[in-house]
Amino acid sequence: MIYTEKEVTIRPLKKGDLIGNYLTWMDDPIVTKYNSHGLFPQSEKELEEFKQSLDSKNKIVWAILFDGLHIGNVSIQSINTINRSGELAIVIGEHQYYQKGVGTIACKLAITHAFDKLNLHRVFTGTSSTNLGMRKVAEKLGMKEEGRFREAMFLNGEYVDIYEYGILKGKFKDEN
C-alpha cells in the first residue's frame, strides 16, 4: 500500500532503498541523538539482519518519501495479532526535514494503515524524555501518555526516562 498526504508519501521499504545516504543515518549523531541506534557502529551484518527482518510478519516498514526523496522510515512493529496491537517507530535520516511536519504525517499514515488494514485495536510508541519532537508528534496524533519508565535509558552520558504513549482505534478515528 502507498499512502500520500501533501508532499509526504509512505510506501513499503524495499531492500534497494538501503543504499546511499541510508547507510549513514544510524551512524549520524544528530539522527541517533534520542534513540539507541547510535550506540554501536553499523556493520554489514546488522544491515543484512535488517534486510531479512523486512520479511517478518510482525513488522511493516515503509520508506518515507518527501517529493520522491527517501528521507526516513516509519514502521508498525511488534504486531500482536491476539491483542491486536502494534508499536509505532520512526526515523528521519535527513536533518533538513526535521520540524516540518513530515514525521507527524508519516506516523498518521502508518497508524491509519494499522487500524484500517491490520484491524489493530491499539498502537503505542515509546521515546526518551529528551525527545521533545517525538513527544509532540504523539500528542498531535491524539496519543495519550500511558506511563513513564524512570531512568530506563542511558543516553548521551545520562539516564533518561522513557515516555510511553498509546491510542485506541476509536479515539484515533474520532480525532483524525
Average pLDDT over the chain reads 89
Give the architecture-level CATH label for domain 3-175.
Answer: 3-Layer(aba) Sandwich (3.40)
- Tell me what the mean pLDDT of segment 26-51 comes to: 71
Query: Does the pLDDT at position 24 exceed 90?
Result: no
56, 74, 58: which is closest to 17 by C-alpha?
Answer: 74
Q: pLDDT higher for 35 or 87? A: 87
* C-alpha span between 56 and 81 (Å, rounded): 13
Q: Is this prediction's pTM over 0.85?
A: yes
Average pLDDT score over residue span 65-88: 95
Looking at residue 7, what is its pLDDT? 93
What spatial distance separates the first Cα and last Cα of the chain, rounded to whole Å? 19
Rounded average pLDDT over 43-63? 75
